[in-house]
Structure 1
Amino acid sequence: MRRKPRIVTPVDRARGRSRHGRGHRSSVTGPELAPVITRAEAFDRIVGDTAHYLVGLWPEELSGVVFQVADMPTDTGLPDELPRWRVERDDRRVTVFRIPVERVTHSPEKDDVDRRIVVETAVFRAVAELIDKDPWDLAPDRYRHW
């Protein structure tokens, strides 16, 4: 069964959630268990967080850009290698394909940080293609830790 592409909204998650003035809600699973989140939800969250970060850095260039996630490309005439993203300049749309990007990380020695880096890299490269910049120029200070 093929799912429709999902729109990913760049959201500032630092605000937290306070319903009706009651403060933050606790996890459904409780403090003893890890939250239940699917791979697709985790992927969507990483794409949304990365998109929010890039929109904050390049507000004029990325205003009105729609970020979405699809499981697989639906094009009939695909090349030998599956694309990991699609950029539609006229529609101001960036689509990241979850399964081709996740295939890069299917190695037993990869952990959650490695998977996050691979997804972020795909978003950075797609946005760089959209605004005609080098991916390293999008956030030059992000990788300077010294």
Structure 2
Amino acid sequence: MPRPPARRRDRHGRGLRGRLVPPGVPLSRSRSEQFDDLVLDAVEDIERHWEKELAGVEFAVEDVPWVDHSSPDEVVLDADVLDDGSVPLARVLPGRREDGVDHPPRIVVYRRPLEIRAHDPEDLADLVRDVVVDQVAVLLGRDPEEIDPTG
């Protein structure tokens, strides 16, 4: 006996739900996309004044810090990590040459630890900017007030 076609409605008879917000509206962007925008805004502001020094530096966003549990001797928190307690908020990975390939310097900002510490969207924007400024200062070997005098 052939099987009846699958129903296209949920158990309450309302049918499939679509997007609640049309694409292109700021509300339709995910939290991670909004966070990426905050980091990008902070980086663009800093690059206006430090364009030559930051040429070739990569900026990245990761959801959470990655820890290699297979090597217990690895030091996770070192001088290049900005942390709050024992939770990394961002990390500077200096440029290096490995196996004949150049790896440019990279600043990694961790989204979830910063979102958890922020009280509201404005606080998150300020926190992201402060973290990016601090990491650029570490990378360039300068004082954070020199990188962002307005901060």
TM-score, normalised with respect to structure 1: 0.67
Q: What RMSD in Å do the two structures reach over aligned CA positions?
A: 2.2
Structure 1 residue 34: Cα displacement: 5.5
| Mapping of residues 7-86 of structure 1, within 5 Å | 28=22, 35-76=27-68, 77=74, 78=76, 81-86=86-91
* Alignment CA distance shift 1:38-1:136 (3 Å): same
- How far apart, in 2, do the equivalents of 1:132 and 1:61 lie? 11
Instruction: Identify, as 1 or 2, the structure richer in strand.
Output: 2
Q: Distance in 1 between matches of 2:65 and 2:120?
A: 26
Letter matched to residue 28 of structure 2: V
Looking at structure 1, the residues matched to 113 and 126 of structure 2 have their Cα atoms a distance apart, in angstroms, of 15
SS in 1 for 2:133: helix
Aligned residue-pair number: 110
* Pair 1:114-2:119 in alignment: no
Which of structures 1 and 2 has the bigger CA Rg? 2
SS in 2 for 1:96: strand
Of 125, 139, 145 in structure 2, the residue corresponding to residue 136 of structure 1 is: 145
Contact persistence 2:133–2:148 (CA under 8 A): no
Distance change >3 Å, CA 81–CA 38, structure 1 → 2: same
Residue number in structure 1 paired with 2:115 = 102
Any conservation in 1 of the 2:115–2:124 contact (CA below 8 Å)?
yes
In percent, how many aligned pairs have the same letter?
31
* 1:82 Cα deviation after fit: 1.7
Post-superposition offset of 1:119: 1.1
| TM-score computed with the length of structure 2 as normaliser | 0.65
CA contact (8 A) 1:101 1:122 kept: no
Structure 2 letter corresponding to 1:96:
V
CA distance in 1, matches of 2:27, 2:115: 21
Unaligned runs of 5+ in 2: 1-20, 69-73, 78-84, 96-103
CA–CA separation in structure 1 for the residues paired with 2:50 and 2:26 = 34
What's the CA shift for 1:112?
1.7
Question: Quick one: higher RCO (CA 8 Å, sep 6+), 1 or 2?
Answer: 1
Partner of 1:88: 93
Closer, same or farther: CA 34–56 of 1 in aligned 2, 3 Å: closer
In structure 1, what is the equivalent of residue 9 of structure 2? none
